[in-house]
Amino acid sequence: MKLLFDQNLSPNLINRLHELYPDSNHVYCLGLDRLPDIEIWEYAKREGFLIVTKDADFGDLSLLRGFPPKII
């Protein structure tokens, strides 16, 4: 399972959860932090990530577009 951490979460989560989720990443580390949510959504879908966020906008996208990607 690959987690993609949104900009409202610490990039340090990548290191802290590396043993459990080694292929995870953060939008900042990937240069996605300035993109609109829909583009992050499409990236996560294309690359097989689950999006981890505190942002309610991703929940709205999930209702409109379904999944993948799943939102945590």
Count how many Cα atoms sit within 13 Å of the Cα of residue 42 in the half-sphere of its side chain: 6
Where is pLDDT greater, at 61 or 30? 30
What is the tens place of the pLDDT at every residue in 1-52? 999 999 999 999 999 999 999 999 999 999 999 999 999 999 999 999 999 9
pLDDT at 53 over 90: yes
Backbone angles phi, psi at 9, to 5 degrees: -120, 155
Secondary element (H or E) of residue 62: helix 56-65
Question: Element (H or E) spanning 49, and its range?
Answer: strand 49-52
Q: How high is the pLDDT of residue 24?
A: 97
pTM of this prediction?
0.92
Higher pLDDT, residue 19 or 58: 19
